[in-house]
Copies of this chain bind each other. A is one copy, B any other.
Amino acid sequence: MIRVVVADDQALLRGSFRVLVDSEPDLEVVGEAATGSEAVALAMNARPDVVLMDVRMPEMDGIEATRRIRDVCRVLVVTMFDLDSYVYDALRAGASGFLLKDTPPVDLLAAIRVVASGEALLAPKVTRRLIEEFTRTPAVPRVKGLDGVTEREREVLTLIARGLSNNEIAAHLQVSLATVKTHITRLLAKVEARDRAQLVIAAYESGLVSTAG
């Protein structure tokens, strides 16, 4: 038996969800909450498997409530608004699912079972945008460590990561431009970078330099 809590500030909606859920033999509503804080308290006491969570609620919104109970049960966010920020915030807060209130009842019930089983499920519209968000940033070319990089090379790398040109580096280190270029060619090979931009990335990612904040 999958134990469900319904958290929504509209009593009417809670009621219909309860009827819907209780009509299934393997599901049961073990509590209702009208605010975020009530939802948190209920999750702690009633120990449901899944909480159907609205986003907009008095006292504490569904996002914050999700964040507080993410470790004690699964959260399925069900909202009227598919705003990007709602979706992203909910997922980061630990929600296992995100559905819109126009979801057919049968799909909602299926979603509860999916979430209870430890998997995740999103409304198709939400899925599409999450994929867009995901593909927005390409696979990041992983950065190699700084093993094998000599002291001098590390020095040059630091200056590159400060934004200096080859000539400026040469002047700063009191060596010829040719020497700087040699160091850089070797750095590119050792760090497996393609150009100085990727060297800057390597410098940050390896911790050689870090954001000043």
Q: Which residues in A have some Cβ–Cβ distance to B below 8 Å?
A: 88, 91-92, 96, 114, 117-122, 124-125, 127-128, 130-131, 133-141, 155, 158-165, 168, 172, 193-201, 204-205, 207, 210-212
Centre residue among A131, A160, A161, A211 by max chain B CB count within 10 A: A131
Copies in the complex: 2
Q: Provide the bound-state CA to CA distance between A130 and B134, in Å.
A: 8
Q: Provide the bound-state CA to CA distance between A88 and B135, in Å.
A: 9
Q: Which B residues are in CB contact (< 8 Å) with A201?
A: 161-163, 200
Known contacts A91-B131, A140-B162; is-contact A207 B197 (Cβ 8 Å): no
Q: Which B residues are in CB contact (< 8 Å) with A130?
A: 130-131, 134
Q: A133 near B134 (CB under 8 angstroms)?
A: yes
Tell me the minimal C-beta distance from A185 to chain B in angstroms. Answer: 16
User: Nearest B residue to A95 by beta-carbon distance?
Assistant: B131
Q: A139 near B197 (CB under 8 angstroms)?
A: no
Q: A134 near B198 (CB under 8 angstroms)?
A: no
Q: A127 near B133 (CB under 8 angstroms)?
A: no
